[in-house]
Structure 1
Amino acid sequence: MITHLQARARDLNARYGHLTGVELLRPLIQTEFKGQLALVSSFGTESAVLLHQVAQIDRDLPVLFVNTRKLFGETLRYKRKLVETLGLSGVRELSPSVEAEQAHDRDGVLWRSNNTACCDFRKVRVLDAGLAPFAAWITGRKRYQATTRLELPLFEAAEGKIKINPLAGYTRADVESYLDRHDLPRHPLEEDGYLSVGCMPCTDRVAPGEDIRAGRWRGQEKTECGIHLPLTSPTNLVGAS
């Protein structure tokens, strides 16, 4: 049985599936989901593309950034630079609460023994709470990034919301071309071989010829932090700034 949200995702794909980038985002931000939409950004190596596109439409659009407190300092500095460069005024930084850290990871090394549990309380639960007021959210996922994303649609229904993937069809060459064409700043770790940047303990350099996400959870079967997987039992772990 098709749910109401699945039906809406199908309708959106039918009406907007031929569009991409700014042309796709403009009617979604200004009409379809006006006041009900947020962009989720990691401020990683490819994030500037989507942030730049949104800035051309609405610099006040809510941008949710999860600071797990395990990020590279370079990522935090890059975030500040992009916010200033693009004039983004709606950025909201979300982090696990101090109480949650004391309860789940008092010593700060949960990632060593159970990185899935670490991702869950530091990132997945925090973002879920931050997304609560919104009917839809924008992701930066692309089909070429991983085999698990090869069939990624522009619109999908998940966890009671519409997820929008405006760059789904972009290739790595498209990303590079866009960054160069608009003279956008690069993540400072990219030139050192970090092509996909997450939390510091679980991110490694990528060797020439490897998949762009090969450095994430190196040597493990884990390929996703959990944000784009079904959520399990709820808990309150968020602190916002």
Structure 2
Amino acid sequence: MRPRARPAVVQQRPGPHARFLEEGRPSPLGATWDGRGVNFALFSAHATHVELCLFDARGEREVERIELAERTDEVWHGYLPGGRPGMLYGYRVYGPYEPRHGLRFNPNKLLLDPYARKLVGRLAWGPEIFGYVLGHRHHDLSFDTRDSAPFVPRCAVVESPAGAEQAFARPGTPWDRTILYEMHVRGYTRLHPAVPAPPRRAAAALALPLIPTSQPRSPS
């Protein structure tokens, strides 16, 4: 079977959000609300094209598809200003359909975000949710073109836990100002006068605020 880079799929639905989509960032993965909008980030090493699919408030109708054109380190991402908790979404991912090589991209199938914190709706088990045609003479090497959206749950954007954005935010230090320092954990804290024992000489000591392990510094 010849690989299909972008098989035929149900007609795209451009909408008002697409024109406002910003570049966003590749981390954290998933859908992250920051109080002003939602950042979407999805990892795929072999995808050629990723669409963010938005649904109405009841999750019954797909109202818009937005291409995530930005890609950083195999993460597809985009920022949607005005996006809010409660927004229902999913993904359609394009790429090679080469089952013999473990590649089964099929944009006719609505995919869940593996980092979604909430799902809405239920799975309706049926042949439409399979990427191949059940009972086909080529078995799972065949390709199914039916839309699976009516039969699968939607992902829901949720509020981030208080302080989570700050607690897990990367420092964002440019690579030309980044120094990777390999150290011996025990030796680094063993003689530090301000580190109590315990956790002196243990990895837990590195989490103390007085240990400058990740704070950005101005160049001297």
Which structure exhibits the higher relative contact order, with contacts defined as CA atoms closer than 8 Å and separated by 6 or more residues?
1
Tell me if TM exceeds 0.5. Answer: no
After TM superposition, the score normalised by the length of structure 2 is 0.22
After TM superposition, the score normalised by the length of structure 1 is 0.21
Larger Rg: 2
Answer 1 or 2: which has greater strand percent. Answer: 2
